[in-house]
Structure 1
């Protein structure tokens, strides 16, 4: 047990650490910029002038002139360092930092010594003036605890957190956030000017800090999950619509006969409605993968983007999508022959999942429950972009490897999603009859 004396000692040491940290922070701010150095030089010159003129300000007189001069000098020697320290401390202490620490104390977000994280800086993101960037000294609280307590931190500080990451070292955590009064719209309509000019960047929706997107040229495969009515099929179509507009060749497996896709999709994409056709197409895609492997090797390049920069005949990207992957890969209740057919399909998908990135071949799956019985580890482990809509704890755990979707997405939400990188967004709605 810690007695009152120990608590008092810890509290005093904590206060001294705060003074030291903010003073050091102030020095870094002052001397970190040319303008700060210039101001520091002007201030130093002012202090020297003040010292030289100290007797003019407090003129000694009478019988005790020497004593008065001595006392004046001592007073100035105390005043200049004290003011300098105070100004440096205030420059290093962000506005509202004490209130932030107190609020974190109130929710018990402290280390074993009872010390709450300390706000080192607070600034506005240059690229988005809605976004604040908060930089904290952690005092031994690891990033994992910050993410586990995100909801409590948001409530305590009245913010919506968009991203949390470590700073230059593990003793610093940086939070990108917006004011707690900002909220996501429940409905955001797609417009053509939202289509990204960047090479195969796919725009998904609006998050707290702005547009949320994923570049499948860098992160090639995508898994979208969520309960019935969460909006995952609309999000899948939003992704595929942009792929079509970016001139990718899109194949869609839909064993419901393609009824979920309006006629225009049957013209712009290839709809695969049975296992035999699906298998033949997957074989042709993996054959194309091997062909591209030889083309890139001959050209001496590492990926499709490098090849297309100089090639006269460019290679198009290929996207294989499925609205409910369980309809394709579920083996429950099937005969051995039927299971063998599915295993062949799995084998082709595994090749694409492992090797597709460099050759511009991508997988985009939507499913309600992508557990191990549906999506094997070899395919699943190569899908780096995972997005979850409304879900219970079990479904969220399956898709994101955590229960955050259950905690952060309201049960009544539609079109609201959470990425495996922790970003919440409202997906764009678009008219799927126009492609």
Structure 2
């Protein structure tokens, strides 16, 4: 009981993970750890770890097929207190076993390692101030994985792609990101937010003094992005004249976060209105410049979409955003658009809000922290600064025609 070795071997065979000469995976070692059992297999020649990783969801589903018998371990039996009535305890144990879903992790170090966990990850992770106290520099809390607390460092990896279907956790993470940065760097963080879903998602942050602009349509987005481009050009000229390599070398404490949500609304592909298409193309060009060169200048791009296609996730953005946080997506193709070829994990995540694939130089499944509205209000309220709104600036610019800035950023790719 409690041994999934035979199940794993049968699942691999039934999934076609067999070499051409008929050889299958062979058990090398089985180790019991705290909360998990690790099975180490030798992979037959002709197969790769990627072949197995692509079938991870098949292994997980196979290990969770419900049968009339329950997987009762010796530890389960030892947990029953025989001094009291054992019948209710056994019934409770069986109910828990019925609800239980096994989760697995795969890794490779010359041998295939499959770690089967006794308990699933938490389905909800409330935000707490203790998470912020564990962060240093420009780190923010992301959530927890099987290996522990997960943080992201925006000075180490400046740009991030965030993707996920509706109500799977993308907007909640963006609120966590903005609130965490305001809490940790109230005097040194700035935001330009392109909220192309109407501006409601970021309404709680609109009047925070750290927020430069919240653009709600393509006209306002272009105005905001042109202002950033002009600022980038001035900073680039200063760095070049002074022989400065990046913001850290310059001792610049400020970081400017550019958040795009929803990217599909700014994509030029398929746009039939010529004037709007021209505006969207210019927005795309500026965002590509930010992704390519602005990291060294202190700008951080957070590029978000729920419609993951090659049109909504431009090549320049994807190649220069070395961090991906991908909540559940509807298809394996969409998962691969965000995470890379063969990376289908996001299509097979459980239907749990906040569950995501976090990928940098490694990949792990995380449960993202969820920040309540009361916590957002508590963090943001001390920084509220009611400012007069610019009235119809984008319409004025549209009537008067477009004007380019005084500098043009010229990038030579090597």
TM-score normalised to the size of structure 1? Answer: 0.64
Give how far 1:194 is off. Answer: 0.4
2:43 corresponds to which residue? 138
| 2:372 partner SS | coil
Residue 262 (str. 1) matches residue 166 (str. 2): no
Q: 1:191 maps to what in 2?
A: 128
1:284 is the counterpart of 2:189 = no
Q: Distance in 2 between matches of 1:406 and 1:395?
A: 8
What is the Cα deviation at residue 144 of structure 1? Answer: 0.8
Larger RCO (CA under 8 A, 6+ residues apart) = 2
* Counterpart position of 1:23: none
Tell me the equivalent position of 2:405: none
Residues of 2 paired with 1:357 and 1:405: CA distance? 27
Q: How many residues align?
A: 321
Deviation at 1:134, TM superposition (A): 6.3
Match of 2:338 in 1: 399
Q: Which residue of 2 aligns with 1:106?
A: 10
**In 2, Cα distance between the equivalents of 1:149 and 1:236?**
31
Deviation string, structure 1 residues 161-189 (Cα, Å, up to 9, x no partner): 44524x3xxx33456x4x52221222211
1:192 offset after TM fit, Å?
A: 1.2
Structure 2 portions without partners, runs of 5+ = 65-100, 381-414
2:370 pairs with 1:429? yes
Counterpart for residue 182 of structure 1 = 119
Q: Post-superposition shift, 1:228?
A: 1.8
Q: Distance in 1 between matches of 2:162 and 2:318?
A: 12
Q: Report which of the two structures shows the higher radius of gyration computed on alpha carbons.
A: 1
Q: How does 1:6-155 map to 2 (within 5 A)?
A: 102-107=6-11, 108=13, 109-111=17-19, 112-119=21-28, 122=31, 136-140=41-45, 141-154=47-60
Aligned partner of 1:237 in structure 2 is 175
Q: Structure 1 residue 325: deviation in Å?
A: 1.8
CA offset at residue 191 of structure 1? 0.6
Q: 2-side partners of 1:117 and 1:219: how far apart? A: 39
Q: Distance in 1 between matches of 2:271 and 2:51?
A: 43
Q: Secondary structure at the match of 1:352?
A: helix
8 Å Cα contact 1:417-1:425 kept in structure 2: yes
Contact 1:397 1:403 in 2 (8 A): yes
- The answer to whether the Cα contact below 8 Å between 2:354 and 2:368 also exists between their aligned partners in 1 is yes
Offset from partner CA, 1:88-110 (integer Å, 9 cap, x none): xxxxxxxx9xx776554333255
* Pairs within 5 Å for 1:382-421: 382-393=320-331, 394-401=333-340, 402-410=343-351, 413-420=352-359
Q: 1:131: how far off?
A: 7.2
| Distance in 1 between residues matched to 2:240 and 2:159, nearest whole Å | 23
Q: Distance in 1 between matches of 2:353 and 2:131?
A: 21
The Cα shift of 1:415 comes to 2.1
Q: Which residue of 2 aligns with 1:325?
A: 263
Deviates more, 1:387-396 or 1:363-372: 387-396
Q: Which residue of 2 aligns with 1:223?
A: 161
Decide whether the 8 Å contact of 2:197 with 2:262 is kept in 1: no
Take 1:388 and 1:256, find their aligned partners in 2: how far apart are those partners? 19
Q: Deviations over 1:150-170 (max 9, x none)?
A: 2344555996344524x3xxx
Shift of 1:226: 2.0
Q: C-alpha separation between the residues in 2 aligned to 1:132 and 1:216?
A: 35
Change (3 A) 1:257 1:138: closer
CA distance in 1, matches of 2:39, 2:151: 23
Give TM-score, length-normalised by structure 2. 0.67
Contact kept in structure 2, 1:331 and 1:342, CA below 8 Å: no
SS of aligned partner of 2:172: helix
